[in-house]
């Protein structure tokens, strides 16, 4: 029997009665994809105020693909295929408003460690981040300027932060003193509630 490929989403319903609020989940909704999912993230990348689901998938016969499940009222999603910029299967997906446009873009790291920022508007465009390679990565505002930066863990170059210039450019690099043997995963933590600058550490 052929296995159905795709992702299942659970929509949370909140209801109140008898003075108490209750939360339940609807039955899962399956969104079939013609490939097996490798990475997934969420965020409003279409600028309509509704969260979207972004899925990177891979099939042995068609290769890697990128899918946008566009958020809609009522929880139903419209599935749209986006151009896939990478040269290998996706390792990681994140979303953030890198260029200050008010709409989130997609950060994709492929299996070779190459990084791409993907914007989805009237047409989909992607920009590679040169001279950057990531085993793992995450996004946060490290210097408190209001723009999301990218923290990278790489077994060759060590740990470092790509500082955002506010327009989606990442030319400035800040090295982190992290032990190479501990850079398998990057964790971002806000150690102080009144401190807007997160610290990065390896875990």
Alpha-carbon span 130 to 115, nearest angstrom? 8
**What is the pTM (predicted TM-score) of this model?**
0.78
Alpha-carbon span 160 to 137, nearest angstrom? 10
Q: State the pLDDT at residue 96.
A: 95
Q: State the pLDDT at residue 106.
A: 93
> pLDDT digit of tens for each residue in the chain (203 aa)?
344 455 555 454 444 444 555 666 667 777 777 778 888 999 999 888 888 999 998 888 878 888 888 887 766 678 888 888 776 788 899 999 999 999 999 999 988 888 889 988 656 677 777 777 788 888 989 888 999 999 888 777 778 889 999 999 988 888 877 655 455 555 555 444 445 555 555 44
Q: Tokens at residue 107, please?
A: 């950060």
Q: Count the alpha carbons within 13 Å of 156 in the hemisphere toward its beta carbon.
A: 7
Contact 152, 132 (CB under 8 A): yes
* Dmax (CA) of the chain: 59
Find the Cα–Cα–Cα–Cα dihedral 5, 109, 161, 153, rounded to 10°.
80
Q: State the pLDDT at residue 188.
A: 53
């Amino acid at each position: 029997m052929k296995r159905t490929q795709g992702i299942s989403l659970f929509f949370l319903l909140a209801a109140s009665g008898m003075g108490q609020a209750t939360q339940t989940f609807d039955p899962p909704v399956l969104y079939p994809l013609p490939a097996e999912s490798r990475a997934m993230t969420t965020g409003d990348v279409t600028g309509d105020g509704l969260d979207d689901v972004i899925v990177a998938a891979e099939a042995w016969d068609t290769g890697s693909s990128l899918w946008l499940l566009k958020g809609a009222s009522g929880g139903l999603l419209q599935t749209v295929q986006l151009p896939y910029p990478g040269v290998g299967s996706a390792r990681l997906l994140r979303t953030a408003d890198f260029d200050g446009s008010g709409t989130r873009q997609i950060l994709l790291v492929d299996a070779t460690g190459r990084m791409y920022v993907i914007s989805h508007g009237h047409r989909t465009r992607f920009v590679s981040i040169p001279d950057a390679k990531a085993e793992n990565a995450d996004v946060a505002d490290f210097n408190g300027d209001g723009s999301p930066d990218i923290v990278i863990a790489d077994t060759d170059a060590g740990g470092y932060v790509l500082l955002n210039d506010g327009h989606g450019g990442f030319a400035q690099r800040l090295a982190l003193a992290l032990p190479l043997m501990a850079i398998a995963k990057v964790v971002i933590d806000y150690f102080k509630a009144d401190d807007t600058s997160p610290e990065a550490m390896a875990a």
